[in-house]
Amino acid sequence: GLMITADGQPKVIEYNCRFGDPETQPIMVRLQSDLVELCELALDGTLDSARADWDKRCAIGVVLAAGGYPGSYGKGFPIAGLDATQPDDIKVFHAGTKVDGDQVVTSGGRVLCVTALGDNIASAQQACYRAADKISWEGMTLRRDIGWRAIARYSEDS
């Protein structure tokens, strides 16, 4: 994981030997190569023979969480808006969900991660929040500040 310092510099605060959540979701929407193939090459010790292809666009992910998370929260709330037509540049990753009959309901704290691609950080952010706003359930909460520091930093550099 990274942290951006007061002077805008990234600092490493943790190393993971696994994909992090929710950091992985925006990475995965940019990866155009076959992840399974890359993992198999890594296991075989031949990853240096591969090339990973990436979408050059920016990606943002916003977690839709259960009200009360990370403390206590309710479960079993029906999720509305999952069937809303989303552009190809939007992906919704399930985490704390389950199927109950014919409905998808909440079953965890981090319920969904909505991701979006855009030509720049601001357009990815706008698309992500537009998509997130189509989804709802009782008590749903999300941060509205994702991406703002990066947008401000790149605006200052321009």
Give the end-to-end CA distance of the chain in Å, rounded to a whole number: 26
Domain 2-157 has CATH 3.90.600.10: yes
Helix and strand element counts for the chain (H, E): 4, 8
For residue 115, the tally of other CB atoms under 10 A from its CB is: 27
Tens of pLDDT, residue by residue, the chain (158 residues): 788 888 888 898 887 778 888 999 999 999 999 999 999 999 999 999 999 999 999 999 999 999 999 999 999 999 999 987 678 899 999 999 999 999 999 999 999 999 999 999 999 999 999 999 999 999 999 999 999 988 988 776 66
State which amino acid sits at residue 127: A
Prediction pTM value: 0.86
111 neighbors 74 (Cβ within 8 angstroms): no
Pairing type for strands 58-65 and 110-118 reads antiparallel
